[in-house]
Amino acid sequence: MLDRFSIKIIKAPLELAAKGLHKLNISANQTTLFGFILGCLAFPSLIFQQYDLALVFVILNRICDGLDGALARIQGISDSGGFLDISLDFLFYSLIPFGFVLANPEQNAIAGAFLIFSFIGTGSSFLAFAVMAGKRDIENPVYKNKSLYYMTGLTEGTETIACFVIFCLFPNYFAEIAYLFGTLCWITTANRIWAGFTTLRDKENLEA
């Protein structure tokens, strides 16, 4: 829901930083991999309940995620790079709640499982429509510079990262926040499934 606005805010500083990285011959894929490694470092930090340190790694991961896209727009957007980026993003998204589960299994296990379950819904509906949209040449009117179709919803990247930040700032309330955000994810999933199905059905009817 907020991605279209946050992208406009961070676009200029990311493009400036990306130009500097490009001059250093750093590729978008290298930035993607480096950002994922930083994101993975949040996992042991969470397990040992070092939530401030985990927050740093979460933020660094997201900065790299913005930088790799800005670099790709300079160096050329590729399907392989887009595939790598989205695959590692979804792994990172599931890693953070899993870290909170291991930090306090008794309190966080069920809520963490529910949240990861909800991520399966948002992720699968997102990726399934992207595949079909590519086959049908359906263009995205909002995110035209992405390597695949980005479906909007209540819980996009901006909301997810905001949720992770709140987790790290208020770890004792992980369960309550996870249940709330997971519910919003399921609303997003339902909307995406309905919108995706009707869009593809209408496209098929027009082509019939």
Residue-wise pLDDT for 109-143, tens only, equals 999 999 999 999 999 998 898 888 878 777 765 55
Does residue 149 surpass a pLDDT of 70?
A: no
Q: Where are the domains of the chain?
A: 3-207
**How much is the pLDDT for 203?**
82
Q: Is residue 161 classed as helix, strand or coil in its secondary structure?
A: helix
pLDDT at 103 over 80: yes
Taking domain 3-207, whether its CATH number is 1.20.120.1760 is answered by yes
Q: What value does the mean pLDDT of the chain take?
A: 90
pLDDT given at position 142: 52
Q: Show Cβ contacts of residue 44 under 8 Å, excluding neighbours closer than 6 positions.
A: none
Euclidean distance between CA atoms 104 and 100, whole angstroms: 6
CA-based end-to-end distance of the chain: 33
Q: What is the rounded distance in angstroms from the CA atom of residue 115 to the CA atom of residue 122?
A: 11
**CB-count burial class (<10 Å; 0-12, 13-18, 19+) for 72:** buried
Q: Crossing angle for the helix pair 51-75 and 3-23, nearest 10 degrees?
A: 70
Q: Give the lowest-confidence range in 79-93, 126-140, 188-202.
A: 126-140
Give CA–CA dist 157/130, Å, rounded: 16
User: Residue 155 corresponds to which tokens in the numbers above?
Assistant: 């819980």
Between helix 105-135 and helix 174-207 the angle, nearest 10°, is 20
- pLDDT tens readout for residues 1-60: 666 677 777 888 889 999 999 999 999 999 999 999 999 999 999 999 999 999 999 999
